[in-house]
């Protein structure tokens, strides 16, 4: 059985990075996998100091991440959400210990024991499939190391890694399950604007569906009644970086703009129909020679 950790950087972390004018991706896997609760702002001193510029296999730009998804049937909003989550959460293909001390890999995939690690298709540095013995040995090595370090601390030359496709599969599988819960619990979910769905999925991944549905009743009510501006005003979370909160709010406000545009088009079409009727009734626009 596998558990997923839904980690994020602290607000102070983002402030530090922005003050340095460095647009770095932020990773923090220190969120407890089963609680689905937000940490208090600034919790986790190690996490709060992380401004890790990921390089190599970990340094995926959002554009590169988007190009990795190949499911032709995947809705565009779901695909975009996956890309943003990977950017916000970070992606570490080797085993490391998160700030709670749990051995973790991928996009917050917590491995409770060696058996769980052995169930995943880790590969050697040469790209060949790792044996059960190799995976168990790597798990034991990482598990014995000090906790509270950057992911790079746990990597050595022979570290086993998960293929990109496996990490994406785990991420998309969890997100699809969360969306199924939202679809079941939220009235008219499928009819929501794409931006609203993206915002809700981001929050669900961050807190778990229960944390979202029960922790934000005013926002959920606003979503179900189409009050997008109210929903955007109620979506802020504590304990995550400001950039992520801003992105989620932006998606909700995009729903406002889209709705206004659709309504304007509808009104314009209605007025045009009325004007055509008036012209027909009074003969406006007909040549004077015509009866």
Angle, helices 242-282/76-89, rounded to nearest 10 degrees: 160
pLDDT in tens, 178-208: 999 999 999 899 999 999 999 999 999 888 8
Who contacts 227 (Cβ-Cβ below 8 Å, separation ≥6)? 221
**Where on the phi/psi map is residue 260: left (φ > 0), alpha (ψ -120 to 50), or beta?**
alpha
pLDDT in tens, 66-121: 444 444 466 799 999 999 988 888 899 999 998 789 999 998 788 999 999 999 99
More confident site: 270 or 176: 176
User: Tokens 């296999």 belong to which residue?
Assistant: 57
Residue 166, pLDDT score:
92
* C-alpha to C-alpha distance for 254 and 193, rounded to whole angstroms: 9
Least confident of 48-57, 95-104, 246-255, 282-291: 48-57
Contacts 24+ apart (CB under 8 A), 227-235: 228/193, 228/196, 228/252, 228/253, 228/255, 228/256, 228/259, 229/253, 229/256, 231/196, 232/256, 235/199, 235/203
Is this model's pTM higher than 0.95 or not?
Answer: no
């Amino acid at each position: 059985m596998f558990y997923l950790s839904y980690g994020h950087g602290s607000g102070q972390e983002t402030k530090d990075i922005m003050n340095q004018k460095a647009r770095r991706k932020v990773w923090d896997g220190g969120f407890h996998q089963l609680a689905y609760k937000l940490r208090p702002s600034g919790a986790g001193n190690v996490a709060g100091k992380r401004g890790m510029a990921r390089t190599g296999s970990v340094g995926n730009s959002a554009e590169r991440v988007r190009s990795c998804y190949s499911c032709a049937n995947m809705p565009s909003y779901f695909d975009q959400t996956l890309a943003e989550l990977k950017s916000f959460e970070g992606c570490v293909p080797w085993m490391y210990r998160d700030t709670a001390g749990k051995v973790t890999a991928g996009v917050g995939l917590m491995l409770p024991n060696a058996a769980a690690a052995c169930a995943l298709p880790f590969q050697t540095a040469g790209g060949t499939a790792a044996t059960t013995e190799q995976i168990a040995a790597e798990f034991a090595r990482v598990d014995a190391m000090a906790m509270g370090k950057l992911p790079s601390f746990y990597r050595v030359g022979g570290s086993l890694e998960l293929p990109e496709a496996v990490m994406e599969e785990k991420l998309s599988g969890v997100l699809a399950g969360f969306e199924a819960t939202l679809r079941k619990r939220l009235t008219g979910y499928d009819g929501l604007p794409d931006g609203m769905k993206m915002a809700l999925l981001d929050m669900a991944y961050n807190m778990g569906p229960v944390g979202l549905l029960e922790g934000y009743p005013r926002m959920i009510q606003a979503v179900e009644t189409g009050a997008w501006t109210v929903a955007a005003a109620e979506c802020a979370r504590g304990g995550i970086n400001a950039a992520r909160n801003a992105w989620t709010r932006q998606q909700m406000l995009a729903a406002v703009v889209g709705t206004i545009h659709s309504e304007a088009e509808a009104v314009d079409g209605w007025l045009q129909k009325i004007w055509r009727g008036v012209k027909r009734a009074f003969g406006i626009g007909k040549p004077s020679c015509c009866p």
